[in-house]
Structures are given as structure tokens and as C-alpha cells.
Amino acid sequence: MTTLSILDLAPVPDGSDVSRALANTIDLARQAERLGYNRYWLAEHHNMAGIASAATSVVIGAVAAATTSIRVGAGGVMLPNHAPLVIAEQFGTLNALYPGRIDLGLGRAPGSDMATARALRRTLASDGDSFPQDVMELMHWFEPATDDQRIRANPGEGQSVPVWILGSSTYGAQLAAHLGLPYAFASHFAPGEMMSAIRIYRETFRPSARLARPYVMLGFNVFAADTDAQAQALFSSVQQAFVNLRSGRPGKLPPPRPGYADALDEGERAMIGQALACSAVGSPLTVRAAVDAFVARTGADELMVTSQIWDPAARVRSYELLAEAMRPMALAG
């Protein structure tokens, strides 16, 4: 049985603000726990008016404090933006506060444009090319210190924080396989190399002390409503957001515009069709069929579901409908 989890991009809807967006995140996390979702992850993005989770570890702490059992983590922290020791201390602290509930997903993209990356880091000397070394250094800080070790991550040292590799290409698949770590692929917005990455990861996986066998998590968009037409209207918000982003006009998450895609030119329709190919949009029956087909095609161990829905209540309802639609699968499993 495929496990369901949630990736919350902490969307800031048009007409709203960061405070309300973060309150929506806390509310959705509580609902996710009630509905039985496995994890609740947040992602690091910078200089984006429509995403409120730039200070990812801070938001993770707030979500963990507002819940009691659901796993909470980063999907992910963009490691080139940070010294590995700093992240070890942050997530060591989180794990000390909420033992056994914290996940650390790591990505090598900046999560922003290069000018913003420079403002974050003050220098671009650390980049994606050093990502494998940075990951190994970070995992080292979580290990028990030796007697002669001059620098220790405290908190961090000896903390059992699960580390994941995130990616949207075969690069991350190779690294995760080499290090024996679980792998999460960003198929919810960049599915082009998904099947190749899954194959490479599974075929070249090397068991480690952290993981005995390959474990694949895939990003997947779900927009569920009582009818297919209502769900398609909800879906139009993320379609608009992608067109705006790719056109150099990023902003807050737009309200629904029924029929939006029909008014686009051929190139724009092809762009969002490719970017959002891994999506289930419709009534519970439609969504269940799409999820089943995706899992059958990929063999995913876990789906990290994301739903960029403008209305917070409709977003919660979408996750409720998904949980209800998939419940017969859980009982059968």
C-alpha cells in the first residue's frame, strides 16, 4: 500500500498575507494529522511573494508544536544556502524538542534566483557542485562525536534525524542510491526525468546503516472536489501561478478562473501540461483512479501530495476527499 503525505508550500493567496498563510498551514497540519496522513513537509523558497515558508525550520517547529503524532519535516532545505553545521544544529534542536517526528529532506537547487542566492549566502563559493560533500558533512554532524573532536553539533550530535535526498533529475537519484538514503522526486512540477530517476535509484541502490532497501517518494498534485468541474476550477489557480512564474511575473496564488487553460496559447498550454502532468483533478472517484494509475506506473512507496488551492477551506476539503477516496485501499492493504 502506498503511503500518503503532504507537501505544503505555505501558499499566500491573492488578497491574503503571510500571517494568514501560516495560520492556514497550522490548521491544515492539524487536519492532516486527524485524517491520518503520514508526514507534513515544508519547502525552502526565497524572494517569492506567494510562498511563506522561507524560514523553513521555524515553520517546521510551529507545525510540530501544533500537532502530536504526524511526522514533520523539510521537503526540502536547499543545502547550498547553508553551512551543514547550522542545519545539523537546527534539525538537532527540532528533533530534541519533538523526538522521532522530524525529517530532513535536502536539495541542491538555490530555491530562488541567483541574485537572491548571493544575498542569502554573501558568496556563491558554495554551490550545487559541492552538494554531495555537504550532505556527507551534515550526516557526520549527526553522528556521535569522538573524544578528540573539536567541533560538535550541539544539539545535533547523536540525533537520529532521517535524511532524504530530493531531486528533479537523475543526479539526485544517483547520489541517494550511492549513500543509501531515501529518495524524493519533484514530479509535482518537473516530471520529465521521473521514470529514469526511479530506475537508476532502484538499480544502483547500496544498502546503508540508514536504509536497507530503496524507498521512493514522488511529488503528486491533487485537486479534489465534489465534482470534476469544481476541481478543474480549483486547479486553475496553480495553472495561473505557473504561467505567471514562467513569464517573469511571480506573485501570490491567484483565485480560480474556470476555463483558464482554454484561453491560453498553444505554447502555454503545453508548458503547464508538461509541468503539471503528475496530477489528479476531479471528484473522489476521478482522483482515486488517477492515483491508482500513477502508483501502478511508478511503484511509488509514498506520495507527497501538494494542493495549491486558493481557498484554504477548499484546500482542507480536497485533502479530506483524497483521504476518504483512498481509505478502501488502506483497508484492503
- Same domain flag for 140 and 239: no
Q: pTM, whole model, 2 decimals?
A: 0.93
- For residue 168, being part of any structural domain is answered with no
Residue 95's contacts (CB-CB under 8 Å, 6 or more residues apart) are 101, 102, 155, 159, 160, 161
- For residue 296, being part of any structural domain is answered with yes
How confident is residue 10, by pLDDT bands cut at 50, 70 and 90?
very high
- Same domain flag for 16 and 157: yes
| Percent over 70 (pLDDT), the chain | 92
- Average confidence (pLDDT) over 95-115: 86
- Same domain flag for 119 and 229: no
- Same domain flag for 314 and 243: yes
- Among 138, 161, 184, residue at a domain's last position: 161
- Same domain flag for 143 and 285: no
Residue 259 CA to its chain's centroid (Å): 28
- For residue 206, being part of any structural domain is answered with no
- For residue 70, being part of any structural domain is answered with yes
- Same domain flag for 125 and 22: yes
- Same domain flag for 157 and 219: no
- Average confidence (pLDDT) over 41-62: 96
Q: 274-314, pLDDT tens digit by residue?
A: 999 999 999 999 999 999 999 999 999 999 999 999 999 99
- Among 161, 178, 202, residue at a domain's last position: 161
- Same domain flag for 18 and 152: yes
Segments forming the whole domain that contains residue 102: 1-161
Residue 240, CA distances (Å) to 54, 178, 258 in order: 22, 38, 11
- For residue 37, being part of any structural domain is answered with yes
Least confident of 236-240, 244-248, 297-301: 244-248
Residue 26 CA to its chain's centroid (Å): 16
- Same domain flag for 258 and 143: no
- Same domain flag for 255 and 125: no
- For residue 171, being part of any structural domain is answered with no
What is the residue whose three cell numbers read 547550522? 86
- For residue 33, being part of any structural domain is answered with yes
- For residue 201, being part of any structural domain is answered with no
Helix (H) or strand (E) holding 33: helix 18-35
Q: Based on C-alpha coordinates, what's the Rg of the chain?
A: 19
CATH code, domain carrying 145? 3.20.20.30
- Same domain flag for 145 and 20: yes
Number of domains in the chain: 2
- Same domain flag for 156 and 219: no
